[in-house]
Structure formats: structure tokens, C-alpha cells
Amino acid sequence: MKCLEKGLVAWFTGLPASGKTTVASLVKEELSKAGYRVELLDGDWVRKTINVGAGFTKEERERHLLRVAWIARLLARNGVIVLCSFVSPYRDVRKKIRDIIVEEVPFLEIWVKCSVEECIRRDPKGLYKKALRGEIQHFTGISDPYEPPENPDLVIDTERDPPEKNKEAVLNLLRKYGIEV
């Protein structure tokens, strides 16, 4: 096991079904094989375990994501590489997340770019169909906005590039922070 004095937080942001967790999972697998301590905090898992009942209004999302930021910071300051996979649609909330984390460890914003049309086509959970029928309120990309990052540390295009290529792009970014894989 490779023990880092301090880890870092790589925050994957993008529309629902853009491929955030798919790429983050591949990155986690590579980092784990290389002997690093790594955690993947995924929106669905956090909402089922740590933050049960978290809602989807802007205020509820902010409260939910700031809690995640504190957890990620705590893990990272203890030598864990933390991969966070959350829609996190609002720029101002992502700035607050960054501000919390960079007090102690590096924060990397990774924009998982994918058109809403492609996300609707993928729709693995059928959520876009429900949102388009009006059955889900505050659904990012349909009834709520997604504000793309203005200066992300990395943009990966999951509509054009396969998951393996996007994984390599993330690993190349991590190498700049001394993570050898």
C-alpha cells in the first residue's frame, strides 16, 4: 500500500448519465492496482447512505454537496485519493466546494462533457424520460440548469471518447500531482 502524506480530491462534474461514475470507477481501479488508498464518493451512494433524504432544489443540493466536500477533505488530508462523482450543477456551489478542500489538499475539477441529447439517449435509470414527462422536478438538464465549469482542470468528452481514453486523461492529470500509475 502506497501511503501518501496528503491525498487530493478529483471532482467529476457533469450532467446525469454523462459518464462521471464510469470514468471515476476506471480511475479508482487503476489507482487501487497501483497500491494507493482511494475512495470513490458517488452521488447515488452518498444519497442512499450518508445523506439520506437529500433533496434536489438548489439549496438542498448545496447543503448535500458541501457535506460531501468536508468528507472528501477529511479523507484526502489523511492520505486518500478521493474521487467525487456528482452532477454538482452550479458554479457558485463548486467554488464553495473548492474553497473548502483547497485549505488542506489539492482540488481538481474534471468536467465530464456530454450533450444533454446524448445523456437522454443513454438514460440508464430512465430518469430523463420521467423528467421530460414532468414526473421529476429539479432535474438537471431538463427543468434545472447545468452550468459548465469555466476553468476546469480537465475536460473529458464522454460523447466522443471511449472510457479508457478518458481514464488515461485523468491519470495523466494525477501524474502532475505526483501520483505514479
Domain CATH code at residue 165: 3.40.50.300
The answer to whether position 180 is within a domain reads no
- The reported pLDDT for the residue numbered 109 is 98
Report the range of poorest mean pLDDT among 51-60, 65-74, 90-99, 112-121.
51-60
- 40 within a domain of the structure (yes/no): yes
Mean pLDDT of all residues in 55-69 = 91
pLDDT of 4: 84
Q: Which residues span the domain enclosing 78?
A: 8-175
Domain annotation covers residue 1: no
Is residue 25 included in any domain, yes or no? yes
Domain count within the chain: 1
Q: What angle do CA 94, 49, 1 make, to 5 degrees?
A: 80
Q: Is residue 3 part of a domain?
A: no
Domain assignment of residue 168, yes or no: yes
The catalytically annotated residue of 85, 88, 115, 143 is: 88
| pLDDT surpasses 80 at 121 | yes
Q: Residues near 113 by Cβ (< 8 Å), separated by ≥ 6?
A: 14, 18, 148, 155, 156, 157, 158, 159
Confirm if 84 and 124 have CB atoms less than 8 A apart: no
Is the pTM above the cut of 0.75?
Answer: yes
Does the active-site annotation cover 88?
A: yes
State the pLDDT at residue 30. Answer: 98
